[in-house]
Amino acid sequence: MTWAIGERLGAALLGAALLGAAARPAGAAAAPAGAAAIRVRHAWIRVLPGDLPAAAYARLENRGDESAALVGALSGRYRRIMLHESLTSGGMSTMRRVSQLTIPAHGRAALSPGGYHLMLMGATRPVKPGDRISITLLFAGGSTETVTFLAMPANASAGP
Ligand SMILES: [Cu+2]
Please give the domain boundaries of the chain with CATH numbers for all domains: 2-24+35-152 (2.60.40.1890)
Is the CB of residue 111 less than 8 Å from the CB of residue 25?
Answer: no
Q: How far is the CA of 86 from the centre of ligand 1 (A)?
A: 7
SS3 25: coil
Burial of 105 (0-12, 13-18, 19+ CB in 10 A): middle
Residue among 42, 11, 48, 23 nearest 128 (CA): 48
Cα–Cα distance, 1 to 20 (Å, whole number): 24
Q: pLDDT-derived band of residue 151, with 50, 70 and 90 as boundaries?
A: very high
- Expressed in angstroms and rounded, the spacing between residue 95 Cα and the centre of ligand 1 is 6
Question: Which residues make beta-bridge pairs with 147?
Answer: 135
Ligand 1 midpoint to CA 5 (Å): 10
27 alpha carbon to ligand 1 midpoint, in Å?
23
Q: State residue 101's pLDDT score.
A: 98
Q: Please check the confidence at residue 7 and state whether its pLDDT lies above 50.
A: no
CA 57 to centroid of ligand 1, rounded, Å: 11
Q: How far apart are CA 132 and CA 56, in angstroms?
A: 12
**CA 65 / ligand 1 centre spacing (Å):** 30
Task: Judge whether 10 and 55 are in contact, CB under 8 Å.
Answer: yes
Report the range of poorest mean pLDDT among 32-36, 78-82, 141-145. Answer: 32-36
Q: How far is the CA of 2 from the centre of ligand 1 (A)?
A: 10
Residue pair 63/39 in contact (Cβ under 8 Å)? The answer is: yes
Single out the residue of 81, 112, 113, 84 nearest to residue 97, CA to CA. Answer: 84
Q: State phi, psi for 36 to the nearest 5 degrees.
A: -60, -30
The predicted-structure confidence for 77-109, as pLDDT tens digits, reads as follows: 999 999 999 998 888 889 999 999 999 999 999
0.85 exceeded by pTM: no
Cα(55) to centroid of ligand 1, in Å?
6
3-class state of residue 36 by DSSP: helix
In this prediction, residue 159 has a pLDDT band, given cuts at 50, 70 and 90, of confident
**CA 48 – ligand 1 centroid, Å:** 12
